[in-house]
């Protein structure tokens, strides 16, 4: 324990001596360990510079790749196997045969209109499979639409071999064969 007390006394004496001593202003003040830290920084900077040089030389060297094998570019595909080349135009180009015109839409306005209720029971069963869930009527035909069996149709659309001729205020008219069948949705949905 006496060693510890003696070390404390010595450090206290040194501290007092340094407080009362006048500093020498002719020499620049030294920071404790400044000489060691500047050498360490210089060595660190030099090591980083050497590492950067070695890495740059390694990356820019020709020869084998990282795995040891030589880097080679793949051979280009022959023209017949190249996927994005356009075919060369034929020298004697014959005009294409005219396509057959699509069948003309029948003029439904000249066909007789029958109500669904006037059809015999056997013919009416064909229309029972149509589940009409939405009906939108507007003055402008571009905004009219109806949802049948989960699909949305506009005027002129084809539904199970029938043509949606028009969407009326109270229902729809379907072209079947040579006649137009009017389906009143108020009757079907029991709206009154």
Rounded-to-integer distance, Cα 98 and Cα 76, Å: 41
Query: Is 145 in contact with 133 (CB distance < 8 Å)?
Result: no
Amino acid 161: pLDDT:
85
Domain boundary assignment for the chain: 109-187
Structure tokens at 163: 């043509």
pLDDT score, position 73: 65
Mean pLDDT by 10 residues, the chain (192 residues): 79 81 63 67 90 86 60 66 60 64 68 84 84 89 90 90 89 88 77 52
Closest-CA residue to 142 (of 125, 123, 167): 167
Q: What pLDDT does 154 receive?
A: 92
What was the pLDDT predicted at 81?
A: 62
Please give the DSSP secondary-structure letter assigned to residue 148: E
Q: What pTM does this model have?
A: 0.45
How far is Cα of residue 192 from the mean position of the Cα atoms in its chain?
49
């Amino acid at each position: 324990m006496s060693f510890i007390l003696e070390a404390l006394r010595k450090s206290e004496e040194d501290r007092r001596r340094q407080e009362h001593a006048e500093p020498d202003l002719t020499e620049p003040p030294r920071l404790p360990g400044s000489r060691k830290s500047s050498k360490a920084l210089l060595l660190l900077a030099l090591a980083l510079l050497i590492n950067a040089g070695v890495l740059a030389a390694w990356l820019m060297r020709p020869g084998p790749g990282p795995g040891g094998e030589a880097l080679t570019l793949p051979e280009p595909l022959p023209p017949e196997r190249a996927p994005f080349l356009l075919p060369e135009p034929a020298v004697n180009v014959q005009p294409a045969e005219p396509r057959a015109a699509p069948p003309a839409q029948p003029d439904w306005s000249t066909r007789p209109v029958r109500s669904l209720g006037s059809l015999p029971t056997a013919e009416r069963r064909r229309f029972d499979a149509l589940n009409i869930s939405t009906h939108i009527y507007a003055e402008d035909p571009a905004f009219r639409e109806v949802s049948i069996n989960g699909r949305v149709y506009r005027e002129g659309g084809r539904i199970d071999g029938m043509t949606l001729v028009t969407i009326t205020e109270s229902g729809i008219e379907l072209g079947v064969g040579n006649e137009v069948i009017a389906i009143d949705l108020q009757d079907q949905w029991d709206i009154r």
